[in-house]
Amino acid sequence: MSWVPSPSTARHLFYGVLIGFSLSFATTSVALAVRERRREKPSEALTLRPIELRSDEILDGVTGLIGNTPLVRINSLSDALGVEILGKAEYLNPGGSVKDRVALRMIEDAERQGLLHPYTGSRIFEGTVGSTGISIATIARARGYDTTIIMPDDVAIEKVRALEALGADVERVRPASIVDKKQVCRNLAREYALHFTSENTHGAPASALPLHHEHPYTLKHSASSVVVTTAEDPEHDAHRNGNGMANGHADESEELRTKPRGFFADQFENRSNFDAHFDGTGPELWRQTNGEAVALVAGAGTGGTIAGTGQYLKSMNEGVIVALADPEGSGLYNKVKHGVMYDRKESEGTKRRHQVDTVVEGIGINRVTKNIELALPIIDDAFRITDAEAVSMSRFLVQRDGLFLGSSSACNLVACVKLVQKMGWQNGEKVVTILCDSGNRHYSKYSLNPRNDEYLVKAGIPNDIGLVQDLLTKPYPPISSITKI
């Protein structure tokens, strides 16, 4: 005898099946509608989602490793202040610093302009305190160029060894102000580039070329001469042919194009420096913070990082505060605050021949470069950071976070603390900064063992974390807003 369900049971079964089909249909319809809407108009959340690094991607050589660096929370400072101090970990670039971005952009732009051709025996020249030279040497080796780096003789020896390991020719000279005509780091690099090109192309002698040009220097040459020019030079566009190519490139012979030539990178005046950060660092920070960054804190050596990154962030949100971290011996602090490029070490009776001497390397300058000109209009505030504060921050980060960062990174983080306290922030505001390089290039100056730290002892700088602890416990006098001076 077969079982026959009762009328009530059959009715309940029917309703159950009907409801199940209805829910399935409704869920599918909603999912399809949401997907279609996202295709037609991406939401803000999708547009600003953080960068995701794919482990299955194959990158194009060493240059493929440059950029898309992570944003790391500095736990000790963030927890103490009640905000989010976020550092762009630029020391994870293959060359070990933020300068990898700049070096790559300068070389790529030079190749696009026909100023450099790979594997022709060409050589790149630059004057630097180390990081830019290491980045140039790294990328140049991968792109088929030789390098000559001129640097001060007081930089950390680790940088010299890194350059030599990369096959760069290194010349060390006495430090001098950037405006000094005998400032051989920059000016000697330019002279060497001119001589190198002239000798290999049988062009005009370098002594006949202008050395006082204020635009970014690049080199081009024709069959009979070597000239210094720039994309900002009005005469540069006047010398273009019908194909829009600069003379010395489109109309040069194949034989001349394959001749070795010298290229003066000139990071201080080269617009590629700014562009590298406006097109790279800035957009990355904006996406990684979901557009919620309230401030950018950065130092300035050439000015390219703070100018390019700051300009981009302000183009997305005018309310983003851009603050400068400036070390002792640099005049930028007073330039921002009072409109005058001046440092107290230049005062009457105390001016030193080499007032740029400082423990902090890589940032600080007493000259307005083309890249700094682009930065000044968007810098809202500046903080003077002493050598002692930078060293104390370096020690503090090692002890509390396990982060061994370079001197310029430490400088930036001291300025972050001062800015947060000055603004009175304590509600999780996102403050971003640049972790320029790691401390492994500063062992000789930032020894982790106080008993062996002869450099700091001679400089009279305390080797402890006391100053940072004081900064965190004795807040900077807060104000309601920043007014640019």
Answer yes or no: is 22 within a domain. Answer: no
Residue 22 has pLDDT above 80, yes or no: no
**129-133, 351-355, 401-405, 471-475: least confident range:** 351-355
Q: Is 347 in the same domain as 211?
A: no
Q: Is 124 in the same domain as 78?
A: no
Q: Give the span between the Cα atoms of 292 and 430, in whole angstroms.
A: 7
* Structure confidence at residue 366 as a pLDDT band (50, 70, 90): confident
User: What value does the mean pLDDT take over residues 104-108?
Assistant: 95
pLDDT, greater one: 130 or 176: 130
Amino acid at 478: P
User: What value does the mean pLDDT take over residues 438-460?
Assistant: 57
Query: What's the pLDDT at 58?
Result: 83
- Whether the CB-CB separation of 186 and 216 falls below 8 Å is answered with no
pLDDT, greater one: 58 or 102: 102
Residue 111 has pLDDT above 70, yes or no: yes
Boundary (domain end) residue, out of 245, 264, 283: 264
Answer yes or no: is 12 within a domain. Answer: no
Residue 455 has pLDDT above 90, yes or no: no
Residue 59 has pLDDT above 50, yes or no: yes
Query: What's the pLDDT at 157?
Result: 82
Cβ neighbour number for residue 180 with a 10 Å cutoff: 17
Boundary (domain end) residue, out of 217, 247, 264: 264
Query: What's the pLDDT at 231?
Result: 37
Residue 451 has pLDDT above 80, yes or no: no
Helix, strand, or coil (residue 247): coil
pLDDT, greater one: 12 or 411: 411
Query: What's the pLDDT at 35?
Result: 64
pLDDT, greater one: 204 or 164: 164
Domain count, the chain: 2
Cβ neighbour number for residue 59 with a 10 Å cutoff: 10
Helix, strand, or coil (residue 86): strand
Q: What angle do CA 301, 183, 114 make, to 5 degrees?
A: 70
The phi-psi region of residue 285 (left if phi > 0; otherwise alpha if psi is between -120 and 50; otherwise beta) is alpha
- Whether the CB-CB separation of 396 and 76 falls below 8 Å is answered with yes
pLDDT digits over 273-294, tens only?
999 999 999 999 999 999 999 9
Percentage of the chain exceeding pLDDT 70: 64
Answer yes or no: is 425 within a domain. Answer: yes
Q: Give the span between the Cα atoms of 138 and 299, in whole angstroms.
A: 24
- Estimate to the nearest angstrom the gap between the alpha carbon of 337 and the chain centroid: 23
Percentage of the chain exceeding pLDDT 90: 40
User: For the purposes of burial, counting CB atoms within 10 Å of the CB of 8, is it exposed (0-12), middle (13-18) or buried (19 or more)?
Assistant: exposed
* Structure confidence at residue 485 as a pLDDT band (50, 70, 90): very low
Cβ neighbour number for residue 16 with a 10 Å cutoff: 10
- Whether the CB-CB separation of 84 and 78 falls below 8 Å is answered with yes
Q: Which residues are catalytic?
A: 99
Residue 164 has pLDDT above 60, yes or no: yes
Residue 337 has pLDDT above 70, yes or no: yes
Selection from 413, 448, 473 nearest residue 72 by Cα: 413
Query: What's the pLDDT at 465?
Result: 79
* Structure confidence at residue 2 as a pLDDT band (50, 70, 90): low
Residue 295 pairs in a beta bridge with 321, 431
Residue 232 has pLDDT above 90, yes or no: no
User: What value does the mean pLDDT take over residues 163-172?
Assistant: 90
The phi-psi region of residue 19 (left if phi > 0; otherwise alpha if psi is between -120 and 50; otherwise beta) is alpha
Please state the length of the chain: 485
- Whether the CB-CB separation of 322 and 328 falls below 8 Å is answered with no
* Structure confidence at residue 344 as a pLDDT band (50, 70, 90): low
Helix, strand, or coil (residue 33): helix
pLDDT, greater one: 188 or 35: 188
Residue 234 has pLDDT above 80, yes or no: no
pLDDT digits over 66-101, tens only?
999 999 999 999 999 999 999 999 999 999 999 999
Q: Output phi, psi for 405, to 5 deg.
A: -105, 160
Boundary (domain end) residue, out of 218, 240, 264: 264
Q: Give the span between the Cα atoms of 181 and 415, in whole angstroms.
A: 32
- Domain containing 82 — which CATH number? 3.40.50.1100
Q: Is 287 in the same domain as 415?
A: yes
Answer yes or no: is 111 within a domain. Answer: yes
**55-69, 126-140, 307-321, 445-459: least confident range:** 445-459
**210-224, 241-255, 370-384, 463-477: least confident range:** 210-224
Q: Is 168 in the same domain as 252?
A: yes
Domain, as residue range, for 215 = 99-264
- Residue 439: CB partners within 8 Å, gap ≥ 6? 394, 398, 404, 405, 406, 446
Query: What's the pLDDT at 201?
Result: 66
Q: Give all strands (DSSP E) within 174-249, no chain letters.
A: 218-221, 226-229
- Token pair 């009457």 is at which residue? 348
pLDDT, greater one: 207 or 72: 72
Task: Give the pairing type, strands 71-73 and 84-89.
Answer: antiparallel
Q: Is 374 in the same domain as 446?
A: yes
* Structure confidence at residue 34 as a pLDDT band (50, 70, 90): low
Residue 260 has pLDDT above 80, yes or no: yes
Q: Output phi, psi for 338, to 5 deg.
A: -125, 0
Query: What's the pLDDT at 4?
Result: 61
Q: Is 126 in the same domain as 245?
A: yes
Q: Is 155 in the same domain as 199?
A: yes
Q: Give the span between the Cα atoms of 287 and 290, in whole angstroms.
A: 5
Answer yes or no: is 371 within a domain. Answer: yes
Query: What's the pLDDT at 441?
Result: 59
Query: What's the pLDDT at 454?
Result: 57
- Whether the CB-CB separation of 467 and 388 falls below 8 Å is answered with yes
- Token pair 């021949």 is at which residue? 353
- Whether the CB-CB separation of 380 and 325 falls below 8 Å is answered with no
Cβ neighbour number for residue 349 with a 10 Å cutoff: 4
Q: Is 78 in the same domain as 170?
A: no
pLDDT, greater one: 155 or 417: 417
Structure tokens at 79: 């927890």
User: 137-164: b or e for each residue (b if 16 or more CB lie within 10 Å)?
Assistant: bbbbebbebbbbbbbbebbbebbbebbe
Q: Is 86 in the same domain as 210?
A: no
Answer yes or no: is 36 within a domain. Answer: no
Q: Output phi, psi for 89, to 5 deg.
A: -80, 70
Sign of CA dihedral 104, 106, 107, 108: positive
Q: Is 469 in the same domain as 368?
A: yes
Selection from 385, 391, 466 nearest residue 418 by Cα: 385
Q: Give the span between the Cα atoms of 260 and 106, in whole angstroms.
A: 18
Q: Give the span between the Cα atoms of 173 and 329, in whole angstroms.
A: 19
Residue 175 has pLDDT above 70, yes or no: no
- Whether the CB-CB separation of 416 and 471 falls below 8 Å is answered with no
Q: Is 210 in the same domain as 115?
A: yes
Instruction: Look over the chain and give the mean of its residue pLDDT values, rounded to a whole number.
Output: 76
Radius of gyration of the chain (CA): 28
pLDDT, greater one: 395 or 2: 395
Task: Give the pairing type, strands 123-127 and 262-264.
Answer: parallel
Side-by-side strand order, sheet with 321-327: 71-73, 84-89, 430-435, 293-298, 321-327, 381-385
pLDDT, greater one: 256 or 332: 332
**205-209, 287-291, 373-377: least confident range:** 205-209
Answer yes or no: is 52 within a domain. Answer: no
Q: Is 89 in the same domain as 231?
A: no
Residue 148 has pLDDT above 90, yes or no: yes
Q: Give the span between the Cα atoms of 485 and 476, in whole angstroms.
A: 18
